[in-house]
Structure 1
């Protein structure tokens, strides 16, 4: 593409909006040290938009494990507003400029590397597998109707480490292709296909990463936009097409040629090699030895403040102490709808179990400490406090069950469908 080409008005407006919208969404990459400052600035903007547009005095729930909070949606409203106004102002100020080829060139590189880093990140946690983990005893004993849509999706993915590996490998390959200029289009096509599927799963299984996955999909679409005509001619019209033309930046400069190689190497070292090592190291905990207290339990006696009450809606009826992937999890349930998950650490020497609420905000570091004892291999006793309440629990391990889901396995030959 010649740097003397004249852009149309629609081309300019589309570029301005894309630059501002995607830039505001993903800045400060790669300047991660500015992340805290950007969060503070966005908090001010989000509170302002919430108050002015919807009359919300303050948005109290800040970004957390969910990426689809009120805060996030207000942020998107602000970004769309800024991008729209900014595009109009930018067009007026640059109306006599024929194009922005050089800026578009560098912007495309920034998008490629951000998308590549993200694809590597999401791919590696599936390869090992850490994102979905394994099916826990809690899931095996849980009724299907008690699962959330997201829980059902996570269970589906957790069943097969092979499928997790395949999905993660495709994401890593797509990200790897984006790093190199000649394979960018192929990487963008592959990444767009993956992200479309991810976005649809997030929508239809109510996974709270809908905004982020959709913006990643838009990023793929932007990278493909310049090749839209060529792709149409080749794949749809069945006609020949020419190779892509690109603006030449620092053509013939040795420092630029070798600098690109150095930067690509550093990027692959940080995102690829270090990411691989971190996930590999974390994955070692998946097969770490488990204490004898792990297992599914039926509560035989539950006391709160030295009182036993069958009508206490907070009483525990089932307790599952398990490991999901590389992370220890404790689940408690009862027939009144209690479904609570907690992280825990175990001191097997002092017989102490320390729990933290899995769903608690990041700023909430409250720990609930219990002492435990095992009169025999099948019995577990817990004693401690939850807030101001003293809790005592006596429970028995549930009998081992040979679940079809975990025992059926894979078969090349199926004389009849085994669909139960």
Structure 2
């Protein structure tokens, strides 16, 4: 039976003389340290710590842009890659912007130059054993915090939260990413299971004795995330690729030991060198690591909890929650028939002021979604005031520019009357609440025993 012991740090290991590394190993380490250690892991970890301490988001963004080599990247984009237009460093929610890709390329160039200079200046050094321990520590914490973040927002579902509008949105109108989000959100246990895998990998990485197991699980998780991002066109491909590469860098030194373990042979523990020569400083370092790990777990959990309660599956519901079919619709006193139209010609959102609507969807308390007769969906910032019995639709998130104002009556629980103005035109509509149980996606549930597949 195979036995395998994980990383162990012996107090006397600082006095042992580590073996000399091969020249190619030293060069590869230097390149990896600059790119993966400083450019990727160092940036992620510092920005996460910076943000968790309450530093204004604008400052964090500026530090991130500087760390991304904004000025050198702009030069590389113009003179080396010869891009047609300047890079935009505005925050968009995507990690696959041209600026991010050029930044990664620029860092590769910097790492190559730094490796050459470092190798020339430090060519007589036999190894980087101590620096390697710092490098692994940096990668472990950076990878762990990233996995914790993505895992927690799935364990407390907010990354992919269930949206009512998906029930009536035509399948073909969804983008690949929208479809991935919708199918994941449709099964909360599945989303939670995905998050638990990421959280488990993160917690294993934070503990030195289980770091190798954490890196292996992170490798599997990273492969799956990258595959989904590539095949569903999710704009986090570069970030996911870096997650996977960090896991690979952590696993690579253990490949031989893992192969021996799988072959059923005994595998001895790896003797890790301490970070410092003095035992006192190593004890201090361990305390700091524990405190830092607990801090990241606490802050990421509280952030995920807030997201879950604000816009995740635990978010408040609109007072008029539901999907409402429009049964009667009049514009400036003239009844508009319910005629199906084509969506071949995209129209601006403001055009709904002159159209008949098919449905009005009230999901969360801060927005209102309308469905046109061509089945396209438009979402506006909106609020429902139950005291004044009004519905307000705005053109901006602050609600300063009103697009529609209605008074509402609810003579029966499944009946609604909206009377007011939309885009400056008088509108009156009667609506009927759609029974959500008519959708198999909501009603079907789970069955241990099934006499036949249910693939409606």
- TM superposition score category, shorter chain reference: 0.7 to 0.9
**1:257-406 to 2 correspondences below 5 Å:** 257-268=283-294, 270-284=295-309, 286-287=313-314, 290-298=317-325, 301=329, 313=347, 314-315=351-352, 317-323=357-363, 328-334=366-372, 338-349=376-387, 351=390, 353=392, 355=394, 368-369=401-402, 370-376=404-410, 377-381=415-419, 383=421, 390=424, 394-395=428-429, 396-397=431-432, 399-401=434-436, 402-406=438-442
Is there any run of 5+ residues in structure 1 with no aligned partner, and where?
Answer: 358-363
Residue 89 of structure 1: how far off its partner (Å): 2.1
The residue aligned with 1:206 is 233
Cα separation, 2, equivalents of 1:411 and 1:383? 47
Contact 2:169 2:376 in 1 (8 A): no
Cα pair distance change 1:288/1:78, threshold 3 Å: closer
Matching residue within 249, 273, 280 for 1:247? 273
The residue aligned with 1:173 is 200
- 2:143 equivalent to 1:115: yes
Residue 382 of structure 1: how far off its partner (Å): 5.7
Cα separation, 2, equivalents of 1:66 and 1:118? 16
String of CA shifts for 1:194-239, please: whole Å, max 9, x gaps: 111011011101111111011011000111111111112222x443
Cα separation, 2, equivalents of 1:374 and 1:345? 12
Instruction: Give the SS at the match of 1:264.
Output: helix
Is there any run of 5+ residues in structure 2 with no aligned partner, and where?
Answer: 1-12
Matching residue within 234, 237, 247 for 1:220? 247
Residue 190 of structure 1: how far off its partner (Å): 0.7
Residue 106 of structure 1: how far off its partner (Å): 0.7
What is the aligned residue count? 404
Greater displacement, 365-374 / 69-78: 365-374
Cα separation, 1, equivalents of 2:273 and 2:23? 20
Contact 1:101 1:247 in 2 (8 A): yes
Cα separation, 2, equivalents of 1:75 and 1:56? 16
Residue 298 of structure 1: how far off its partner (Å): 4.7
Cα separation, 2, equivalents of 1:342 and 1:18? 47
Cα separation, 2, equivalents of 1:199 and 1:18? 21
Instruction: Give the SS at the match of 2:154.
Output: helix
TM-score by length of 2: 0.78
Greater displacement, 256-265 / 212-221: 256-265
The residue aligned with 1:77 is 105
Residue 319 of structure 1: how far off its partner (Å): 4.9
Residue 35 of structure 1: how far off its partner (Å): 3.1
The residue aligned with 1:94 is 122
The residue aligned with 2:282 is 256
Higher relative CO (Cα under 8 Å, sequence separation at least 6) belongs to: 2
TM-score by length of 1: 0.84
Work out which of the two has the higher radius of gyration on C-alpha atoms and give 1 or 2.
2
Cα separation, 1, equivalents of 2:41 and 2:275? 25
Contact 1:21 1:79 in 2 (8 A): yes
